[in-house]
Structure 1
Amino acid sequence: MALIVSLLSKACSLPFSPLQRVTTTTRTRARPFSCKVLNSGFNQAQRKQSPLHLSFVTQLRREVSALANGVSVVEKEADQEGKSQHRIWFSDVVVQNRREAFWKRNWNVSDIAAFGVVSSMHLLALCAPFNFTWPAFWVAAGLTLISGLGITLGYHRNLCHKSFKLPKWLEYLFAYCGLHAFQGDPIAWVSTHRCHHQFSDTERDPHSPINGFWFSHINWMFDTKTIIEKRGEVSNVEDLEKQAFYRFLRATYRLHPIALGVVLYALGGLPFLVWGMGARVAVTYHATFLVNSASHIWGKQAWNTRDLSKNNWYVLFVKNAQMKEMKQGWE
């Protein structure tokens, strides 16, 4: 659900980089041109600079000024249209078009089903302290590792980004493990994530904080109509739709987690069900969704990209504590 930047790479300072962050989601004031970013060492070395260098700095100043004016115009036009805007706390992200996840919209069957599943997992998680046993805890830890690898290596790295090639049996195994993270079948998940990268932090992004923190974090899962409007009908996953295995998982997606729940209850009763399903899935949900929300709101941006993705140390910590995924907090 995010661009991955290796921890081994080091962000370098580019004081005169021509890349400018292009976004209409931040309320920024034109910064003085004597600031360190544009004029690092400028006053001290002004006499030694070549005419070409001075021309470059002048052009860069003009571009920054035009960008600041453009942001002001866009925000002014949005205010005139009556769109409510507010800045997310402790960030430079402005919510431009807040999505109402629960009220003032029609719910379809898919929305109700998704809300029911997510709510039931959280309700089960609340029962976890009262049903604690060490066997149940280790079952939850093992299933967290298995389903987490299914999402990270199977859905994300392999199916979405084609980062590596696997034997078909291993690819299918990882995908099936990801199915038990309760985040959707591979075709739907991959389609949404590819759309997210293609239109990151624009109105076509399925889960961007420009529609509100909670919408980008989890509420987007309950708004099928909005997702289809943003993503369109599934048309960017022809490579998966051609394979009978993924069509089978899409058709039978809901049956597999139910079967797992039955097996857990049969093996260990309520503690296994509460920890192996509720607590595990709830923790995995929020560890994954923080990459969609927090990593696009708070943190530092090493490169002037054209979206809101940031490096976020505490998302990295949560993901690492979950299952040693040491790169997921880095966009």
Structure 2
Amino acid sequence: MDPNLIPLIESAIELTDTFPGGPFPMRSQVTLLTGGSMRFFARLEDGERSIVALFQPGGGEEFENYLEVGNFLRENNIGVPEFYVSDNRKGILLMEDLGLDDLESILKNAGQDEELSFYREGIDILFELQTTVTSALQEAGHPQIAGFDRAVLLGETEYFAVEFIDGYCGMTPPPGWSKECELLADRLSSLPPVFIHRDFQSRNILLTEGRFRLIDFQSAHRGPGLYDTASFLKDPYHPILPGTRRTLLMELYYRLDEAGVEVPPGFEMYYDDFLYAGIQRNMQALAAFIRLGTKMGKKHFLDSIPNGLDLLEEGIDECGNFPAIKAVIGRARSILKEQG
């Protein structure tokens, strides 16, 4: 273990002083957990009990958001970890250990029927986020849950330009790039805002005691629900068949329509919006894979680039409106071929 982490681990263990059953010993087993951000997590075990510690050195806005959003979701019956105790100044949170069974891992060994069943459970959560949780958000306010507006959407495509187009492909944005980014941002920012997790994908959904639980929710926004839906149904960590994706999307559409949620007056219009959301989301994910894999040393994220490109190209081919992005995909595929 990095010696610089030892004081943080010791501070976390000190927070267990008031735990039922007594504090965890200083020689507790510590397992560092993987993740995709500057934060890090560790599992602490004393032989009979286990907890997870979140470390965001110095605390700050993102740490506060994790607490606020987690508590808000729990109050509205969305499965998230229980929070035990925190030190906001140091940026340490002790919480429930949800185990190791994330949806991505579970789906690797799932049959077709089981896969569909798991995905329907995920759709159930999306439905609740876009209905019950959104209504509660409108009533409660929660100013820390910002709007996922046109500026944020353009910020995501700029992130893609910096990390992927320049950093990975080594090219300048093709002609028409800015116009295509604006087309995406205009389309998605015009959709009714709901509560969105903003990273609703298979590694952020854990199965604990038979129930799906969400993690990594600190970036929640008010924005287009289809962004979360695309994150889930166009997930590079576990791509699903287009027919299965369409079936699940149609089921969600009719449930939302029946619940009185504002949706387009026909599934095909809703599907077109979904395609735009998928293009936006897949570009964000590809940019993140490059940044995490090359600048932060988490090279396993690079393994998801081919799936991300496939999903992005699939959406572009269905839309037929994005030649500049299509050119970037062509360059990226050439690089992958050169790398073997």
Q: Report the TM-score, using the length of structure 2 for normalisation.
A: 0.28
Identify which of structures 1 and 2 has the higher relative contact order when contacts are C-alpha pairs closer than 8 Å and 6+ apart: 1
* Bigger strand fraction: 2
- Who wins on radius of gyration, i.e. which is larger? 1
TM-score, normalising length from structure 1? 0.28
